[in-house]
């Protein structure tokens, strides 16, 4: 019985090894499908055999020891390198992807037998997806600027280099600022903003006002509302669609607040959702209705600033630290009843900082319902500020549409807050 089980597992692992090679081979074969038969170093059969050979080496290792599997692997690598060099010389194509893929497939086949099958299979799928993404990745690199590459490096530096060395304990007399948590929150908002920025870049600068509005809501709904307002003066005929983009940005911004609360303080999310969810839905519905009024022939050239410029990151961290200290001091001096007033004032200029500060404090000394009310008030103050910007900078049609949607959203949010 035991022998039967061992044999069954061996067949399963060797079958996985073969399947990994076939999977990668299908992708590689599709990439070179225009090549004549016999003109490619490796195709479906070659990759399948390579992976199976790696799996068989893993099967032999407990019996023969590591010397024979190592010799087979070295011979395999030499063979692949020789044929790859011959093809590169003939075609004058010096890409090493196929060679590296073949060696990786051999290693995955070996891992399918000697390591965890689930992890090996997941690795094979991930590698195949990476190989298949050649054209999108190359297209993305062609559009990538130095400022965007620097932003990505900043985010990685913030996460991998700086974060691990920061003290994970309060460093101020009021026990309000934990540098580690402050930097983690800065990374969180920066990452969300950078993802939104990349979405706009992938779609192109003129991919459409609605896509820009929805993506811009991740980066900065206030900046987008102001930008669209100024464009509504320059292009009055686009005011309905520009207002639709601003409404979608508002909906995405409120959804982002809910997402941040869900990640940091789930209890606050439960109390906050009845208020902000209806407001976000009103903005989304209003944006859809406004968008249906007109279909322009051209789209906007709006493109938000890179959200991970060094000064932008440092400024947000500073604002978040100040808001955190002010929030804690206000609670100490005046109690939780003063938090709503502070949230309203802060929300006029920045929604993320007060959201993060209050959500963090909710687990220390602010009840979840009080924290939710403060964040809701900050969100409504932020809506009011954007409506004022729309009225002062944008066209009448743009301002009226946005103001109507904003007022209805605020009333819906207040109703949800009261009824909850």
Q: What percent of the chain has pLDDT over 90?
A: 8
In terms of residue numbers, what domain contains 406? 139-419
Per-residue pLDDT at 416 exceeds 90: no
Q: Which of 284, 296, 308 is nearest to 405 (CA)?
A: 284
Among residues 78, 98, 132, the one where a domain terminates is 132
Nearest 10 degrees: Cα torsion 177, 216, 270, 272: 80
- CB distance 286 to 405 below 8 Å: yes
Q: Among the listed ranges 95-99, 128-132, 154-158, 387-391, which one has the minimum average pLDDT value?
A: 95-99
Q: Among the listed ranges 57-71, 74-88, 297-311, 401-415, which one has the minimum average pLDDT value?
A: 297-311
In this structure, are 46 and 103 located in the same domain? yes
Give residue 207's pLDDT.
52
In this structure, are 227 and 334 located in the same domain? yes
Per-residue pLDDT at 159 exceeds 80: yes
Per-residue pLDDT at 209 exceeds 70: no
In this structure, are 216 and 319 located in the same domain? yes
Per-residue pLDDT at 270 exceeds 70: yes
81-116 pLDDT per residue, tens: 887 777 767 666 666 777 888 899 999 999 999 988
User: What is the end-to-end Cα distance of the chain in Å, rounded?
Assistant: 61
Tokens encoding 186:
């800065």
Give residue 70's pLDDT.
87
Measured between alpha carbons, how far is 242 from 274 in angstroms, rounded to an integer? Answer: 28
Give residue 54's pLDDT.
92
Of 190 and 153, the one with more pLDDT: 153
Q: Among the listed ranges 93-97, 265-269, 407-411, which one has the minimum average pLDDT value?
A: 93-97
Measured between alpha carbons, how far is 305 from 338 in angstroms, rounded to an integer? Answer: 35
In this structure, are 273 and 175 located in the same domain? yes
DSSP string, 245-304: HHHHHHHHHHHHHHHHHHHH-HHHHHHHHHHHHHHHHHHHHHHHHHHTT---SS-----P
Q: In the structure, what pLDDT confidence band is assigned to residue 178 with cuts at 50, 70 and 90?
A: confident
Per-residue pLDDT at 75 exceeds 80: yes
What lies within 8 Å, CB to CB, of 294 at 6+ separation is 237, 238, 240, 241
Per-residue pLDDT at 281 exceeds 90: yes
Q: Which of 280, 284, 270, 285 is nearest to 420 (CA)?
A: 270
Give residue 36's pLDDT.
55
Among residues 104, 132, 160, the one where a domain terminates is 132
In this structure, are 304 and 194 located in the same domain? yes
- Mean pLDDT, rounded, for 112-137: 86
Give residue 378's pLDDT.
86
> How many structural domains comprise the chain?
2
Length of the chain: 420
In this structure, are 85 and 171 located in the same domain? no
31-66 pLDDT per residue, tens: 665 555 555 545 788 888 899 999 999 888 888 888
Give residue 109's pLDDT.
92
Query: Which sign does the torsion angle of CA 345, 347, 350, 352 carry?
Result: positive
In this structure, are 83 and 160 located in the same domain? no
- Mean pLDDT, rounded, for 289-316: 60
In this structure, are 73 and 172 located in the same domain? no
Q: In the structure, what pLDDT confidence band is assigned to residue 282 with cuts at 50, 70 and 90?
A: very high
In this structure, are 45 and 90 located in the same domain? yes
Among residues 132, 153, 179, the one where a domain terminates is 132
In this structure, are 99 and 213 located in the same domain? no
In this structure, are 127 and 10 located in the same domain? yes
How does the average pLDDT of the chain come out, rounded? Answer: 77
Give residue 108's pLDDT.
92
Most confident of 143-147, 288-292, 321-325: 288-292
- Mean pLDDT, rounded, for 405-410: 89
Q: Can you give the three-state secondary structure of the chain, one letter per residue? A: CHHHHHHHHHHHHHHHHHHHHHHHHHHHHHHCCCCCCCCCCCCHHHHHHHHHHHHHHHHHHHHHCCHHHHHHHHHHHHHHHHHHHHHHHHHCCCCCHHHHHHHHHHHHHHHHHHCCHHHHHHHHHHHHHHHHCHHHHHHHHHHCCHHHHHHHHHHHHHHHHHHHHCCCCECCCCCCCEHHHHHHHHHHHHHHHHHHHHHHHHHCCCCCHHHHHHHHHHHHHHHHHHHHHHHHHHCHHHHHHHHHHHHHHHHHHHHHHHHHHHHHCHHHHHHHHHHHHHHHHHHHHHHHHHHCCCCCCCCCCCCCCCCCCHHHHHHHHHHHHHHHHHHHHHHHHHCHHHHHHHHHHHHCCCCHHHHHHHHHHCCCCCCHHHHHHHHHHHHHHHHHHHHHHHHHHCCHHHHHHHHHHHHHHHHHHHHHHHHC
Q: In the structure, what pLDDT confidence band is assigned to residue 2 with cuts at 50, 70 and 90?
A: very low
Q: In the structure, what pLDDT confidence band is assigned to residue 244 with cuts at 50, 70 and 90?
A: confident
In this structure, are 127 and 143 located in the same domain? no
Give residue 298's pLDDT.
45
Nearest 10 degrees: Cα torsion 299, 226, 395, 381: 130
Measured between alpha carbons, how far is 97 from 80 in angstroms, rounded to an integer? Answer: 12
- Mean pLDDT, rounded, for 223-232: 76
DSSP string, 294-315: ---SS-----PPPTT-HHHHHH
Q: What is the CA radius of gyration of the chain?
A: 28
Residue 13, CB-side half-sphere exposure with 13 Å CA sphere: 26
Of 184 and 308, the one with more pLDDT: 184
Query: C-alpha angle 192/393/318, rounded to 5°?
Result: 40
């Amino acid at each position: 019985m035991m022998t039967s089980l061992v044999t069954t597992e061996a067949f399963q692992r060797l079958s996985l090894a073969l399947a990994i090679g076939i999977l990668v081979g299908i992708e590689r074969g599709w990439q070179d499908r225009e090549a004549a038969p016999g003109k490619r170093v490796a195709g479906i059969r070659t990759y399948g055999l390579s992976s199976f050979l790696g799996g068989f080496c893993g099967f032999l290792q407990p019996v023969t020891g590591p010397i024979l599997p190592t010799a087979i692997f070295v011979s395999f690598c030499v063979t692949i390198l020789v044929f790859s060099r011959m093809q590169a010389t003939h075609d004058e194509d010096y890409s090493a992807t196929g060679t590296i893929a073949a060696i990786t497939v051999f290693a995955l086949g070996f891992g399918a037998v000697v390591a965890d099958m689930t992890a090996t299979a997941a690795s094979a799928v991930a590698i195949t997806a990476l190989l298949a993404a050649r054209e999108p990745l190359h297209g993305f690199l062609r559009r990538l600027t130095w400022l965007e590459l620097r932003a990505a490096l900043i985010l990685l530096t913030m996460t991998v280099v700086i974060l691990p060395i920061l003290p994970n304990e309060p460093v101020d007399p009021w026990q309000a600022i934990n540098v580690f948590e402050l930097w983690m929150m800065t990374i969180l908002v920066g990452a969300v903003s950078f993802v939104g920025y990349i979405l706009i870049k992938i779609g192109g600068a003129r991919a459409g006002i609605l896509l820009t509005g929805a993506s811009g809501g991740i980066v900065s709904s206030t900046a987008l509302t102001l930008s669209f307002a100024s464009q509504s003066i320059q292009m009055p005929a686009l005011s309905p669609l520009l207002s639709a983009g601003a409404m979608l940005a508002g909906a995405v911004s409120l959804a982002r607040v809910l997402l941040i609360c869900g990640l940091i303080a789930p209890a606050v999310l439960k109390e906050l959702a009845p208020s902000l969810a209806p407001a976000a839905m009103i903005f989304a519905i209003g944006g859809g209705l406004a968008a249906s009024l007109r279909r322009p022939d051209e789209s906007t050239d709006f493109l938000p600033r890179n959200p991970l410029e060094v000064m932008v990151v440092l400024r947000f961290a500073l604002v978040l630290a100040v808001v955190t200290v002010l929030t804690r001091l206000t609670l100490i001096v005046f109690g939780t009843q003063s938090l709503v007033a502070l949230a309203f004032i802060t929300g006029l200029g920045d929604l993320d900082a007060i959201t993060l500060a209050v959500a963090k404090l909710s687990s220390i000394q602010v009840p979840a319902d009080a924290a939710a009310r403060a964040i809701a008030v900050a969100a409504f103050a932020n809506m009011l500020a954007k409506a004022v910007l729309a009225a002062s900078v944008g066209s009448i049609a743009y301002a009226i549409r946005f103001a109507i949607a904003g007022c209805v959203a605020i009333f819906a949010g207040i109703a949800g807050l009261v009824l909850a």
